[in-house]
């Protein structure tokens, strides 16, 4: 499941292969993604140079001469750079054929990802416009979380996973960060103190930062853009570890559902 660290790992891996190249052609095999790939896209792209590759939350943004490409990996998406002779598989939905002869190939078995286009700045696109702060930006801190959460009765874990509050905190890292901060995931977001939110902001930064440093988590079908599986999973404290001993107190970790999402916690350490 590409979360923010995986997307950033993908961005870093792709950047040297994409930036500066021109797009010769978009080969679109399957436009039915999370949102349909715009029909006019194959006509927009040829000849455009890729000027930069950015990330906003879990979105990748390729800046072109005229407009921006907006890519989301969804649940099972991956991007890699391959030689054109490599045959496309069943779930390889589109290729960007580059001016240096290489191909940037998008694979997404579950088709929850997207390929969008805007002729203006991506940040003004409806998908990006209302996103919350980047968790690794200075603007994201305990004060922000405390202020934003006042009056919210939602479980803090579900609240944290709302990209309008903060981007890039998916289920894995929400579980991990709440464990690290010692906060019970079902606690109402509006009933957590400023001090505890300071700890949570720090826990989120640390958890995501470490995952990026280690090259992203590998879960099920995530594969790095260079084809190597990630290896952060071994450092997860609670995610998918129900019944295992809590790394802090040794009691058995629990699994429960919060907002229809699998949640892992230590009921002793998290209050």
Partner DNA sequence: ACTGGCTCCTGAGGGC
Partner DNA sequence: TGCCCTCAGGAGCCAG
Q: Which residues bind DNA (CB under 7 A)?
A: 1, 3, 32, 34, 57-59, 72, 74-76, 90-91, 109-112, 127, 151-155, 158-159, 161, 163-164, 167, 170-172, 190, 220-221, 259-262
Query: Is residue 3 among the annotated active site residues?
Result: yes
Nearer of residues 264 and 269 to DNA, judged by Cβ: 264
| Cα–Cα dist 185/160, whole Å | 10
The CB-of-71 to DNA minimum distance in angstroms stands at 11
Choice among 58, 80, 107, 157 that is catalytic: 58
The CB-of-147 to DNA minimum distance in angstroms stands at 11
The CB-of-98 to DNA minimum distance in angstroms stands at 26
| Cα–Cα dist 28/114, whole Å | 12
Query: What is 224-237 written as a DSSP string?
Result: -TTS-----GGG-S
The region, left, alpha or beta by phi > 0 then psi within -120 to 50, assigned to residue 153 is alpha
Choice among 2, 133, 135, 185 that is catalytic: 2
Host H or E run for residue 72: strand 67-72
Nearer of residues 55 and 180 to DNA, judged by Cβ: 55
Burial class (CB in 10 A: 0-12, 13-18, 19+), 147: exposed
Query: Is residue 31 among the annotated active site residues?
Result: no
The region, left, alpha or beta by phi > 0 then psi within -120 to 50, assigned to residue 268 is alpha
Query: Is residue 2 among the annotated active site residues?
Result: yes
Nearer of residues 100 and 210 to DNA, judged by Cβ: 210
| Cα–Cα dist 180/177, whole Å | 5
The CB-of-236 to DNA minimum distance in angstroms stands at 11
| Cα–Cα dist 176/209, whole Å | 12
The tokens for 147 are 């202020």
Nearer of residues 25 and 111 to DNA, judged by Cβ: 111
Nearer of residues 25 and 127 to DNA, judged by Cβ: 127
Query: What is 95-110 written as a DSSP string?
Result: EEEETTS-EEEEE-TT
The CB-of-64 to DNA minimum distance in angstroms stands at 22
- Residues annotated as part of the active site: 2-3, 58, 261
């Amino acid at each position: 499941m590409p979360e923010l660290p995986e997307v950033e790992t993908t961005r870093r891996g792709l950047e040297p292969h994409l930036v500066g190249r021109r797009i010769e052609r978009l080969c679109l095999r399957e436009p039915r993604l999370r949102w349909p790939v715009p029909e006019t896209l194959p006509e927009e792209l040829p000849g455009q140079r890729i000027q930069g590759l950015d990330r906003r939350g879990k979105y990748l943004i390729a800046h072109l001469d005229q407009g921006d490409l907006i890519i989301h990996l969804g649940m099972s998406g991956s991007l890699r750079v391959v030689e054109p002779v490599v045959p496309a598989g069943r779930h390889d939905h589109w290729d960007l054929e580059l001016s240096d002869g290489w191909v940037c190939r998008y694979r997404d078995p579950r088709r929850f990802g997207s390929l969008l286009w805007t002729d203006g700045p991506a940040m003004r696109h409806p998908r990006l416009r209302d996103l919350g702060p980047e968790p690794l930006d200075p603007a994201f801190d305990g004060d922000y979380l405390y202020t934003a959460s006042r009056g919210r009765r939602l479980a803090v874990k579900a609240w944290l996973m709302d990209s309008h509050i903060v981007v890039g905190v998916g289920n894995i890292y929400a579980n991990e960060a709440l464990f690290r901060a010692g906060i019970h995931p079902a606690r109402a977001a509006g009933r957590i103190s400023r001090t505890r939110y300071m700890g949570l902001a720090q826990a989120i930064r640390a958890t995501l930062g470490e995952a990026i440093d280690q090259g992203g988590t590998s879960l099920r079908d995530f594969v790095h853009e260079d084809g190597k599986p990630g290896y952060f999973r071994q450092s997860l404290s609670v995610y998918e570890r129900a019944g295992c001993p809590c790394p802090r107190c040794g009691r058995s970790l629990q699994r429960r559902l919060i907002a229809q999402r699998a949640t892992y916690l230590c009921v002793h350490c998290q209050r």
